[in-house]
Amino acid sequence: MPERRTVALVTLGCARNEVDSEELAGRLEADGWQLVEDAADADVAVVNTCGFVEAAKKDSVDALLEANDLKDHGRTQAVVAVGCMAERYGKELAQALPEADGVLGFDDYADISDRLQTILSGGIHAAHTPRDRRKLLPISPAERQESAAAVALPGHGPTDLPEGVAPASGPRAPLRRRLDGSPVASVKLASGCDRRCSFCAIPSFRGSFISRRPSDVLNETRWLAEQGVKEIMLVSENNTSYGKDLGDIRLLESLLPNLADVDGIERVRVSYLQPAEMRPGLIDVLTSTPKVVPYFDLSFQHSAPDVLRAMRRFGDTDRFLELLDTIRSKAPEAGVRSNFIVGFPGESESDLAELERFLNGARLDAIGVFGYSDEEGTEAATYENKLDEDIVAERLAHISRLAEELVSQRAEERVGQTVHVLVESVDAEEGVYGRAEHQAPETDGQVLLTSGEGLSVGRMVEAKVVGTEGVDLVAEPLTGSPVCTEEAGR
């Protein structure tokens, strides 16, 4: 028998890319490819790139070059770029980076096996010429679902596949293959974005907003639960818009309780929420539904009105603080995180002071701060009133220091609270780590448990916060707690 073809997927960027990689893995395994963890052990290394900001693009190029080095002393015969950077630049990336044996766009995903086989056999698959993917679907959201089947939508793989297509497949198996054993998995709720933020290029290469069918989201969640997943995180470019192209802008409010009812799922988390689109009903569901954590990943970006208008966004400091007050009136211990851009064109010292006023009053659990840089193809790149790079760097350092202080203070406020921790790693030397309700994977800190006796990955543990380490918490498991007792009896 011929030796099996092997492939490794290297994923960079956000949780949406992780979902896309697992769909690619499902397609490849269904066509006979053997998936391996280490690129050095693979015939083909597929790098799922990020094309969001300059630093992410550099990381993607570095990863491609590192994989290319394996061709000199490893098994690797070909290196292929996929993902946002590959989609965004296409031929340009292929010409600038000849070390990549192939550059595949989203339209190639359905035929990923054939594409990789062609490249592995020494053939050439011409990289695509990038196009504005917003133009592939009707302008009216209500007309998009009928056209969606003709457009490549990574992470929207079908469910109800024939037996054998995915591991432990059955009537609920999605076109997806898990790449790790984590008790947490992301589920794509939608793709694309209809907002026109002046600094963001994502809609041009991810396309217009389109929702997945609730039944597909629910079936995939059931399948993930069967794989041992305890927490799902709903991801998209903008979850608050979910359902608008399905005729019901409040569809998320009805979907969340159904997801929480799936056997085996202990926690449902929603990410990527737009402050301007938050509505009372959604806040109510997020703060009162059992197993749906009161977690608010709100994309504020700034709080000074003039800067927000230049960003083509809405709101101001007082409105944002009112929104947070509303959330905490319903769930006092709710988790809130956000990202901010400093040094935006035209940002004055008074604008920066307004942002500081907001940060000091917001009591955020996690804060990401980025210095502005031009992104080609965006409106902001054409603005004339750019700040000098050294001023941007100075403001970035200043707000980053403030953010670090504030999230540490917020963590200290949680000392004495009882939290439910999902155990994610158990190591004899490193200790036992997990996350509480207010902490999303990768971005929001973690919890160190003071005792790991009898604990394993995937356990949900009730614990009391007894200390902090910056943004991280230190917590003591409560013996005899309902959560511990229930798990011990399994």
pLDDT tens string 301-353: 999 999 999 999 999 999 999 999 999 999 999 999 999 999 999 999 999 99
Q: Say which range, 50-54, 263-267, 362-366, has the weakest mean pLDDT.
A: 50-54
Least confident piece of the model among 351-360, 393-402, 449-458: 449-458
Give residue 133's Cα distance to chain centre: 20
Alpha helices in 31-76 (DSSP H): 54-73
Q: Encoding tokens for residue 247? A: 């005729």
Residues tagged in the binding site annotation for [4Fe-4S] cluster: 14, 50, 84, 193, 197, 200
Structure tokens given for 199: 């600094």
- Provide the sign of the torsion angle of the four alpha carbons 302, 305, 306, 308, taken in this order: positive
Can you tell me whether residue 166 is helix, strand or coil? coil
Residue 45 near residue 80 (C-beta atoms within 8 A): yes
Per-residue confidence (pLDDT) for residue 169, from 0 to 100: 53
Q: Is 43 helix (H, G, I), strand (E, B) or coil?
A: coil
How far are the Cα atoms of 81, 273, 330, 466 from residue 91, in angstroms, in the given order? 12, 34, 51, 54
Phi/psi at 191 (nearest 5 deg)? -135, 155
CA distance 86 to 26: 20
DSSP code for 298: B
Cα–Cα dist 264/428, whole Å: 27
Write down the pLDDT at residue 486.
Answer: 41
Q: What is the pLDDT of residue 288?
A: 97
Percent of the chain with pLDDT over 90: 78
Q: What confidence score (pLDDT) does residue 56 get?
A: 74
CB 305 within 8 A of CB 347: no
Question: Residue 179 above 80 pLDDT?
Answer: yes
Average pLDDT over residues 236-245: 96
Q: Which residues of 215-235 are buried (b: 16+ CB within 10 A; e: fewer)?
A: ebbbbbbbbbbbbebbbbbbb
pLDDT at 159 (0 to 100): 62
Q: Write the DSSP symbol of residue 273.
A: B
Q: What percent of the chain lies above the pLDDT cut of 70?
A: 94
Q: Which has the higher per-residue pLDDT, 274 or 152?
A: 274
What are 116-133's pLDDT values in tens digits? 999 999 998 999 999 999
Mean pLDDT of 388-411: 98
SS3 312: coil
Pairing of strands 102-103, 78-82: parallel
- In the block, tokens 């269904």 appear at 30
Predicted confidence band of residue 488 (pLDDT cuts 50, 70, 90): very low
How many Cα neighbours within 13 Å face the side chain of 197? 21
**236: nearest Cα among 271, 285, 269:** 271
In the three-class reduction of DSSP (H, G, I as helix; E, B as strand; rest coil), residue 426 is classed as: strand
Question: pLDDT higher for 65 or 229?
Answer: 229
Q: Return the closest-CA partner of residue 192 out of 248, 145, 226.
A: 145
Give the pTM: 0.92
pLDDT value of position 1: 34
Check if the beta carbon of residue 293 is closer than 8 Å to that of residue 267: yes
Strands annotated E in 300-378: 335-342, 366-371
Q: How far apart are CA 481 and CA 490, in angstroms?
A: 15
By residue count, the chain amounts to: 490
487, pLDDT greater than 60: no
Mean per-residue pLDDT, 278-307: 97
Confidence (pLDDT) at 68: 81
Answer yes or no: is pLDDT of 163 > 60: no
How many CB atoms are located within 10 Å of the residue 325 CB? 10
CB 157 within 8 A of CB 175: yes
Is there a contact between 191 and 207 (Cβ–Cβ < 8 Å)? yes
What's the confidence (pLDDT) of residue 165?
A: 53
What pLDDT was estimated at residue 489? 35
Band (pLDDT 50/70/90 cuts) for residue 453 is confident
Helix axes 15-30, 112-120, angle to 10 degrees: 70
Give the per-residue pLDDT at 168: 53
Residue 200's closest CA among 53, 60, 32, 24?
A: 53
pLDDT of residue 286: 98
**Residues 180-191: pLDDT tens digits?**
999 999 999 999
Q: Who wins on pLDDT, 418 or 171?
A: 418
Compute the mean pLDDT over every residue in the chain, rounded to the nearest whole number: 91
Grade residue 162 by pLDDT with cuts at 50, 70 and 90.
low
Where would I find the H helices in 6-53? 15-30
User: What pLDDT is stored for residue 355 in this prediction?
Assistant: 98
For 71-96, what is the mean pLDDT?
A: 90
- What H or E segment, with its residue span, contains residue 269? strand 267-270
User: Mean pLDDT, to the nearest integer, of 437-451?
Assistant: 93
Whole-number Å distance between alpha carbons of 150 and 137: 9
Binding site: residue ranges? 14, 50, 84, 193, 197, 200
